[in-house]
Structure 1
Amino acid sequence: MTQTATLETQAPKAGYAMDDVRANVDPRPQLESEDYRPAGKLEGKAALVTGGDSGIGAAAAIAFAKEGADVALVYYSSDDDAQAVTGRIRSLGRRALVFKGDVGDEEFCRRTVGGIVDAWGRLDVLVNNAGEQTPQQSILDITQAQLVRTFQTNIFSMFFLVKAALPHLPEGGAIVNTTSVTAYQGSPQLLDYSATKGAITAFTRSLSENEELVSRGIRVNAVAPGPIWTPLNPASYGTDSSKVRHFGEGVPMGRPGQPYELAPAYVFLACDDSSYISGQVIHVNGGTVVNG
């Protein structure tokens, strides 16, 4: 389960286009918007984004770079995707680091944070975004191995990374976790995944009230995506499944969101614009009211 951490600082492949990476996902997830207007909200900051090689994590990482942050990415297996995102960050004039490994392993998390601090001398923002899901029709089909794996990746990793990052986060630092609309609505085919997302929401609220963080002005918040079009969806259900063909049609806006539509929420919670906000969840879900 554990992979060796690698720190890569070489230049991206010449001519490597981000559209090439997402070419096998139709339509291609949109990581950026031409209408985005950065304002230096994270100038001089250093951020760590897990699951930053694609989807929501990649969109947040690119937006952070546009706002002036140096960004370190953690990813599990998609080398080309990670290469493309780090290349994009560098093209924006910011520094990028990339670490390959399993966030469900505490030692890997410690090495990753240590590598960032060694390289840059600081860590200001932690985005716990990495996650995985394996749909099952029945609880009887969820094996112990799947259950442990889902919890290790989705929620154990957040404990590991906060433990590693906390000694380095400065006064006014920020932690942003990715939960999900499934934490509030449930999902019959994603029982273990939904359970981890409920745990993430409770973790966010509880950690935000911890005196060690409160006394240092470190804020903890979360984003709860609804149906967002990322490579995770066809990978989970199959490209020809009805679930994928009609993905997102059930929300009031009648469509899935794109990763770039999540990125401003992460920027807001990471920067001083949200200085009086902690323990909260921003719902970016196409208009679904969850009353949570």
Structure 2
Amino acid sequence: MAISQGKVVVLTGASRGIGLATAHYLLTSSPTTNLLTISRTRGSLSTLSSTHTSRLEILEGDISSETLGQTAVDTAIRKWGRIDALIVNHGTLEPVKKIADARVEEWRMAFEVNVFGTVGIIKAAIPHLRETNGRIILTSSGAAVTAYQGWAAYGSSKAIFNHLALSLTVEEPLITTLSIRPGVVDTDMQRDIREKHAETMSAKDAEKFAGLKKDGGLLRAEQPGYVIARLSVEGDVKGLSGKFLNWNDQSLGAWQEE
């Protein structure tokens, strides 16, 4: 096992949207950073893999698996000997149903992915992040603090991210943990909101999200993605630990595009 001279980042939910933008930044704009990604499919990561073979390890699998988080961490340590940052970016919106209409099993499945998959990989990474005074970046959501009809499972799971950041800051002082609200981004999830879930949501909420697409109000994935990437490897983030911040918050100016 060789110890990498560059930083090592583990990134979940990397095959599209914000995760893919984050991966692209780390590989193209941070030339000494090594990256292990986790996603259900390789997707557009294959293109990055062809040009960054030695610096990118792609792991395909379901993050809700009890073993995948540990496998990812073990793979990064075996290949590069260290972990400097963990970016938790995966998530499922399902079930998009009122609480009264959803089955408990649907909530359980959502939490297996969004919550227990997250806790699993964080637990696996903590010993190594202590050694590097590393960072955990959690991709949260405005739904953590705002209610939308039918989004209770998703919003509740993202609210847990915010509390995880607070708890880890108290429990793991050697590690910096923060939760980032990425804004409303032009991703496949937004497409599903407009095309698949509009009838389940309130008319007001459905109109809001449709209007953002129609009027050009959606963010590009690169906007929050690049901030998240830079927070994982650049600058002094210690004073941000435990916070829930918008991607374009004034306090993150040093990590935003110039």
Letter in 1 for 2:158: K
In the alignment, which residue of structure 1 is the partner of 2:253?
none
In the alignment, which residue of structure 2 is the partner of 1:277?
240
Q: Structure 2 length normalisation: TM-score?
A: 0.81
RMSD of aligned residue pairs (Cα, Å): 2.8
Unaligned runs of 5+ in 2: 200-204, 251-258
Instruction: Write the distance in 2 (CA, Å) between the matches of 1:102 and 1:185.
Output: 28
In the alignment, which residue of structure 2 is the partner of 1:6?
none
1:40-87 deviations in Å (ceiling 9; x for gaps): xxx8101010000111111111112222311111001x3333323434
Letter in 2 for 1:232: M
Q: Does the 8 A contact of 2:23 with 2:229 survive in 1? A: no
Matched, 1:225 2:182: yes
In the alignment, which residue of structure 2 is the partner of 1:130?
90
Change (3 A) 1:245 1:86: farther
Q: Does the 8 A contact of 2:21 with 2:226 survive in 1? A: no
Change (3 A) 1:111 1:283: same
In the alignment, which residue of structure 2 is the partner of 1:159?
119
Instruction: Write the distance in 1 (CA, Å) between the matches of 2:210 and 2:235.
Output: 32
In the alignment, which residue of structure 1 is the partner of 2:18?
56
Change (3 A) 1:229 1:85: farther
The partner residue of 2:45 within 42, 67, 82 is 82
SS in 1 for 2:236: helix
Q: Does the 8 A contact of 1:116 with 1:122 survive in 2? A: yes
Unaligned runs of 5+ in 1: 1-42, 288-292
The partner residue of 1:184 within 145, 148, 162 is 145
In the alignment, which residue of structure 2 is the partner of 1:267?
229
In the alignment, which residue of structure 1 is the partner of 2:157?
196
SS in 2 for 1:185: coil
Q: Number of residue pairs matched?
A: 236
Instruction: Write the distance in 1 (CA, Å) between the matches of 2:183 and 2:155.
Output: 12
1:61-115 deviations in Å (ceiling 9; x for gaps): 1112222311111001x33333234346x1xx86100111111122121111111
1:244-274 deviations in Å (ceiling 9; x for gaps): 88637469x9701111000232134223332
1:158-192 deviations in Å (ceiling 9; x for gaps): 21011111122233211101110011112212110
Range 62-71 or range 159-168, more displaced: 62-71
Q: Structure 1 length normalisation: TM-score?
A: 0.72
Instruction: Write the distance in 1 (CA, Å) between the matches of 2:207 and 2:249.
Output: 17
SS in 2 for 1:159: helix
In the alignment, which residue of structure 1 is the partner of 2:254?
none
Percent of paired sites with the same residue: 22
1:222 shift after superposition: 1.3
Instruction: Write the distance in 2 (CA, Å) between the matches of 1:240 and 1:172.
Output: 42
